[in-house]
A and B are shown apart, each in its own frame.
Chain A
Amino acid sequence: MTSFRITKNLFFKIYKLLPILFIPLLLNACGGGGGGASSGGAASYTVTNCNDNGASSHRDSEYRYMSSAYHSTDPLEAICASSAYTRGATGDGIQVAVIDSGIHETHTDLNDNMIAYTTGSDVVNSDNDASDDNGHGTNVAGIIAAEHNSSGMHGVAYDAEIYGFKAFNAAGAAPSGATGAAYALVEAIGAIDIINNSWTSEGTCTSASDCRSKIGTTLYDNWEDVSQLSTPKISVFAAGNSGESEPDLECQTMKYNSDINAVSVCVVAVSYYTSGPYSTGDGKIASFSDRCGSVAAYCIAAPGDRIGSLTHTSNGFEYTTGTSFAAPMVSGGLALIMEEFSSLTPAQVVTRLLTTANDSSEYSQTSIYGHGMMNLNAATTAVANLQTINGSNLLDDENTSYYDLANNTFTSSASFSNALNSALAGQTMEVYDSFDRANFEVGVSSFFTSGSYTSQNTVENHMARLQPKTKEKVKHKNLYGNFTMEVDGNYVQSSMFQSAGDFLALGFNQSTNSFENAVDPLSGFFNDSNFGNNYLVNPYFHTGSGQDYFMSFNGNSSFGIDTFTNGNNSDLGLAFNLNPLSSTSGDAKYAGDLQIVLGTNYEQNKFLNSSSTGVFATGDMSNTNFTGVKYKKNLGDDFTFVGSGFAGYTYIDKASNSYIDKSTPLLTSTFTLGLAKANFIKKDQRIGFFINQPQRVEDGSLSLRVPTSSDRDRTVTYSNLNVDLEPDARQINFDIIFHKAVTETSNLSANLTHVQNGDHSNSSKNQNFISLFYKKTF
């Protein structure tokens, strides 16, 4: 018994794998080039559940109409159709041929989805009127594509279009050669994607030639022909209703012709009807249904017992039973998959349908259910990793590479994040399932993270701003060759070499912009935190984590050089600082400090400190040339005016294959104005007023080139997305800062901040902060 089970399991696995033997070939063909591409992983893919988790709006009365009061599960719920609808798949644009007893084309729940009868479509009577005189064809067509029109029911693919071909007479029998002739008519209509065949021929065949002989040479040859077209048509066949272990002849034929079985599906019926003679209503195989048997590799299950559909005699509805009605469930499902994934070939659509079937528990019995129960939730979901395509327009080209989604990022500067967000809102692009390169639509903005100035307005930052400035003192100030700097609280690890006579000063590994900090006119108010210092420092020196060198000549710092590198030594900045006016010259008391800055920086895979990876990466040499001025002047004994302004011109370096396709230079600006007064009301009280605009893009744009569609010939089309990077507003920070020395050992500070148009967005709410800080030293 044990050995039998092992054999049986192996047997099942082989059948499970047969239809996806193409996958390794496919992945070999399309997965090259690295970039994080993962293998398909389909062999281990198991679907345990069909979770009908679509929006409730999709599970309306029309959705339930196929079932009756005695169904344990609605047929559409059983195949999780609402999940596919929520993802936008409704069958729109997909055309399904129904070879049957004709169709009641004027039924009000179907007429809008009917294609007018084509020439010769009534094969039985050799005319052009494929009307239904049996009812079966109308039942089938309704299950596929009855309209979602707030009346009655809707089909699985309620926006698909139906071609009707009458090959069966009023008794439900096909005259000799009729089905083959109908296939010839279908072959001639290029628009048809899927052929539903809710009919069978009873019997057994054991080879291709035997099957060809038994189902009819015309049918076999035409079926083979439509399967060999450059865009093959998918054929769906009912298994039969004899309750036998093997399906009928047409399904058996699939075993012996690889062209046919690549695009053909055999369907058995399960039952959720609790009150009928064919099941216990638990979704197991209906007693009347043939099993998948030796056709398991091309076989799937769908509800087929007491399925509600359209009548041919009126605009009414009726219930029907048989694998005839499981087959159109699958045809409709294929239409949804086909619409949802325009990049898939028909063979890949079939493979995806079969691979994503629920194959656990009861449905793991491949000899009964083949691949299992159709699951349109899983079928419209990624089987393996979703990936971006790296610039190529050929999904399967050996040179095409892919990135896993997590490896594509863009963290934008707040200087333009508002504009970027606005431009990308609602914009979509394609990504691809590494299993079969099925195309999924995602929002472009999903890869983007916005930088934010206002996010820094935390209570912690405001409190930290008011803490007394960290005291720094240089030991052995004038000792030649001394590299030691002592910092209270180990705030900065640095070293300094300063020559005797203050003629030459060299610095290393100071906090960023150390040279500027040395002349920061706000140092009396704000401490050394980045948050506090952002008002006046050079905004084009973005990093604080790397190495920083500065050099100034003579003690008055009339000329200096400031540099930075980031932590990876990949960014480089160089600024020349000129100090033509110095408070130490002339009458120091009333003199001004003027610093003029000219510089340039180069950023690797960044610009304006906006970092990016993957398909949004920028090149190694984005460059910003900048200039700025900082000025401080004492006005009388108590007043001090401070001001600074910086402007930059940024050239974005394009990386090869990046979706950032083109850009214009970005003009950016920032400024600060401030007025401080000592001895405010009382001695030892100071107050300052400051107006600041954080860095903002004034002009410039990007052009993104993103994949937006793909076709069954496996080509990708890119679309340009122009992004004007100038934000729609200007952030202005208003600050009032008050400082009081209460005693020699205690200080009180207060800060009121008002932020207008935060992050340069006119939709931002104004922010207000009040912070108080009291410190007493014991």
Chain B
Amino acid sequence: MLNKFVIISSLFLFSCSSYLIQAEEIKPKNLKCGSNSGVAFFEKNGSFTIDDKDFNYKLGLIDKNLDKSDFNFIYISKPQTSGGYVLEVEKITKNKNKHRIYFKEKTPPKGSSNIAAITATYCFLQIDNFDKVVVFIR
């Protein structure tokens, strides 16, 4: 009986908080997006936080002059067959300790001229105080 109550209570509270507490949209402190055709850069594509061992390595492949303290999150998209793809951060929301980052990757216009390399787009961000990150791509 007690167990049931707890569960119901939790559901109620979650529902209540979702309803009562709106997700906060935040701006990254630092943001750098681009594309790269270095194989090592996108071999392990996905999201990397500052704790990932590949973080600094990937950062160095983009620009050795970048200050590692300026970023704490990378997202690298899956490789594309040409250049011309553009990755943008559409918005970042924070809900309690969970950050949701919405990326939008634009495909090159039909018939446009683009470099003929396998490339991946990326964004480097610095976001304050995040514990969990969920990435959405459009």
For the complex of A and B, list the 10 residue pairs with the smallest distance between their C-beta atoms, beginning with the closest: A172-B83, A173-B84, A322-B117, A238-B116, A241-B81, A172-B115, A174-B113, A318-B38, A324-B117, A324-B116
- Residue pair B112, A174 in contact (C-beta under 8 Å): yes
* Interface positions of B from 69 to 101, Cβ below 8 Å from A: 81-86
B51–chain A nearest beta-carbon distance, Å:
24
B53–chain A nearest beta-carbon distance, Å:
19
- Residue pair A198, B40 in contact (C-beta under 8 Å): no
Is A202 in the interface zone, CB < 8 Å from B? yes
Given known A-B contacts A241-B81, A318-B38, A313 and B116 have beta carbons under 8 A apart: no
| Chain B residues whose CB sits within 8 angstroms of the CB of A173 once the complex forms | 83-84, 86, 108, 112-115
A357–chain B nearest beta-carbon distance, Å:
20
The segment from B2-10, B11-19, B29-37 that touches chain A is: B29-37
Closest chain A residue, CB of each to CB of B109? A173
Is A249 in the interface zone, CB < 8 Å from B? yes
From B108, B111, B115, give the contact of A198 (CB < 8 A).
Answer: B115
Which residues does B use to contact A, with CB under 8 Å? 34-41, 61-65, 81-86, 108, 110-119, 121
- Residue pair A322, B37 in contact (C-beta under 8 Å): yes
| Chain B residues whose CB sits within 8 angstroms of the CB of A313 once the complex forms | 61-65
- Residue pair B110, A172 in contact (C-beta under 8 Å): no
- Considering the chains assembled together, what is the distance between the CA atoms of A240 and B119 in angstroms? 13
From A135, A276, A318, A322, give the contact of B116 (CB < 8 A).
Answer: A322
Q: Told that A134-B35, A241-B118 touch, could you supply 8 new A-B pairs with CB distance under 8 A?
A: A136-B119, A170-B35, A172-B82, A173-B112, A174-B112, A200-B113, A318-B38, A322-B117
Given known A-B contacts A203-B111, A241-B116, A172 and B37 have beta carbons under 8 A apart: yes
| Chain A residues whose CB sits within 8 angstroms of the CB of B85 once the complex forms | 171-172
| Chain B residues whose CB sits within 8 angstroms of the CB of A288 once the complex forms | 81, 118
Given known A-B contacts A134-B34, A249-B111, A320-B38, A172 and B117 have beta carbons under 8 A apart: yes
| Chain B residues whose CB sits within 8 angstroms of the CB of A242 once the complex forms | 81
8 contacting pairs across A/B (C-beta < 8 A): A100-B115, A200-B82, A200-B113, A200-B114, A238-B116, A316-B64, A319-B39, A320-B117
- Considering the chains assembled together, what is the distance between the CA atoms of A167 and B112 in angstroms? 12
Is A369 in the interface zone, CB < 8 Å from B? no
Most buried by A among B61, B62, B108, B117: B117
- Residue pair B114, A135 in contact (C-beta under 8 Å): no
Query: Scoring A residues 303 to 320 as 1 if CB is less than 8 Å from chain B, else 0, what string do you get?
Result: 000100001011010111
- Considering the chains assembled together, what is the distance between the CA atoms of A443 and B112 in angstroms? 53
- Considering the chains assembled together, what is the distance between the CA atoms of A288 and B118 in angstroms? 9
| Chain A residues whose CB sits within 8 angstroms of the CB of B118 once the complex forms | 241, 288, 320-322
A457–chain B nearest beta-carbon distance, Å:
68
- Considering the chains assembled together, what is the distance between the CA atoms of A199 and B112 in angstroms? 10
Is A158 in the interface zone, CB < 8 Å from B? no
Most buried by B among A171, A198, A311: A171
- Considering the chains assembled together, what is the distance between the CA atoms of A576 and B125 in angstroms? 108
- Considering the chains assembled together, what is the distance between the CA atoms of A243 and B37 in angstroms? 18
Is A139 in the interface zone, CB < 8 Å from B? yes
From B35, B40, B81, B82, give the contact of A318 (CB < 8 A).
Answer: B40
B64–chain A nearest beta-carbon distance, Å:
5
- Considering the chains assembled together, what is the distance between the CA atoms of A45 and B34 in angstroms? 48
* Interface positions of A from 273 to 303, Cβ below 8 Å from B: 276, 288
Is A467 in the interface zone, CB < 8 Å from B? no
- Residue pair A135, B38 in contact (C-beta under 8 Å): yes
| Chain B residues whose CB sits within 8 angstroms of the CB of A202 once the complex forms | 82, 110-111
Given known A-B contacts A136-B37, A241-B81, A242-B81, A318 and B61 have beta carbons under 8 A apart: yes
Query: Scoring A residues 207 to 219 as 1 if CB is less than 8 Å from chain B, else 0, what string do you get?
Result: 0000000111000
B42–chain A nearest beta-carbon distance, Å:
10
- Residue pair B81, A171 in contact (C-beta under 8 Å): no
Which residues does A use to contact B, with CB under 8 Å? 100-101, 134-136, 139, 167-168, 170-174, 178-179, 198-203, 214-216, 238-243, 248-249, 276, 288, 306, 311, 313-314, 316, 318-325, 327
- Considering the chains assembled together, what is the distance between the CA atoms of A320 and B110 in angstroms? 24
Most buried by A among B36, B41, B113, B114: B113
- Considering the chains assembled together, what is the distance between the CA atoms of A100 and B112 in angstroms? 14
- Considering the chains assembled together, what is the distance between the CA atoms of A774 and B118 in angstroms? 88
- Residue pair B112, A134 in contact (C-beta under 8 Å): no
- Residue pair A174, B116 in contact (C-beta under 8 Å): no
- Residue pair A135, B36 in contact (C-beta under 8 Å): yes
Closest chain B residue, CB of each to CB of A321? B118
| Chain B residues whose CB sits within 8 angstroms of the CB of A178 once the complex forms | 113
- Residue pair A136, B117 in contact (C-beta under 8 Å): yes
- Considering the chains assembled together, what is the distance between the CA atoms of A167 and B34 in angstroms? 17
- Considering the chains assembled together, what is the distance between the CA atoms of A243 and B82 in angstroms? 12
| Chain A residues whose CB sits within 8 angstroms of the CB of B82 once the complex forms | 172, 200, 202, 240-241, 322
| Chain A residues whose CB sits within 8 angstroms of the CB of B34 once the complex forms | 134, 170-171
- Considering the chains assembled together, what is the distance between the CA atoms of A172 and B80 in angstroms? 12
Given known A-B contacts A240-B116, A323-B116, A306 and B39 have beta carbons under 8 A apart: yes
- Considering the chains assembled together, what is the distance between the CA atoms of A214 and B110 in angstroms? 10
- Considering the chains assembled together, what is the distance between the CA atoms of A249 and B41 in angstroms? 29
| Chain B residues whose CB sits within 8 angstroms of the CB of A215 once the complex forms | 113
- Considering the chains assembled together, what is the distance between the CA atoms of A215 and B37 in angstroms? 24
| Chain B residues whose CB sits within 8 angstroms of the CB of A179 once the complex forms | 113
Closest chain A residue, CB of each to CB of B87? A171
- Residue pair A139, B81 in contact (C-beta under 8 Å): no
Most buried by A among B82, B110, B119: B82
Given known A-B contacts A136-B83, A318-B38, A318-B39, A199 and B110 have beta carbons under 8 A apart: no
Closest chain B residue, CB of each to CB of A325? B117
Most buried by A among B36, B62, B63: B36
- Residue pair B38, A172 in contact (C-beta under 8 Å): no
Most buried by A among B61, B62, B81: B81
Closest chain B residue, CB of each to CB of A240? B116
- Residue pair A321, B39 in contact (C-beta under 8 Å): yes
- Residue pair B113, A135 in contact (C-beta under 8 Å): no
| Chain A residues whose CB sits within 8 angstroms of the CB of B111 once the complex forms | 201-203, 214, 249
A81–chain B nearest beta-carbon distance, Å:
22
| Chain A residues whose CB sits within 8 angstroms of the CB of B86 once the complex forms | 171, 173
- Considering the chains assembled together, what is the distance between the CA atoms of A214 and B113 in angstroms? 10
Closest chain B residue, CB of each to CB of A318? B38
| Chain A residues whose CB sits within 8 angstroms of the CB of B114 once the complex forms | 168, 172-174, 199-201
A281–chain B nearest beta-carbon distance, Å:
15
B67–chain A nearest beta-carbon distance, Å:
14
| Chain A residues whose CB sits within 8 angstroms of the CB of B81 once the complex forms | 240-243, 288, 322
B124–chain A nearest beta-carbon distance, Å:
13
| Chain B residues whose CB sits within 8 angstroms of the CB of A174 once the complex forms | 112-114
- Residue pair A139, B113 in contact (C-beta under 8 Å): no
Closest chain B residue, CB of each to CB of A286? B118
| Chain A residues whose CB sits within 8 angstroms of the CB of B119 once the complex forms | 136, 172, 322
| Chain B residues whose CB sits within 8 angstroms of the CB of A201 once the complex forms | 111-114
A566–chain B nearest beta-carbon distance, Å:
70
B103–chain A nearest beta-carbon distance, Å:
14
Given known A-B contacts A134-B35, A135-B38, A314-B64, A321 and B110 have beta carbons under 8 A apart: no
B41–chain A nearest beta-carbon distance, Å:
8
B94–chain A nearest beta-carbon distance, Å:
28
Most buried by B among A135, A200, A243: A135
- Considering the chains assembled together, what is the distance between the CA atoms of A108 and B7 in angstroms? 65
From B65, B113, B115, B121, give the contact of A136 (CB < 8 A).
Answer: B115
- Considering the chains assembled together, what is the distance between the CA atoms of A518 and B11 in angstroms? 136
- Residue pair A171, B35 in contact (C-beta under 8 Å): yes
B77–chain A nearest beta-carbon distance, Å:
12
Closest chain A residue, CB of each to CB of B113? A174
- Residue pair B115, A101 in contact (C-beta under 8 Å): yes
A243–chain B nearest beta-carbon distance, Å:
8
- Residue pair A324, B84 in contact (C-beta under 8 Å): no
Closest chain B residue, CB of each to CB of A216? B113
| Chain A residues whose CB sits within 8 angstroms of the CB of B41 once the complex forms | 318
| Chain B residues whose CB sits within 8 angstroms of the CB of A320 once the complex forms | 37-39, 117-118
From A239, A306, A311, A324, give the contact of B115 (CB < 8 A).
Answer: A324
- Residue pair B64, A199 in contact (C-beta under 8 Å): no
A102–chain B nearest beta-carbon distance, Å:
11
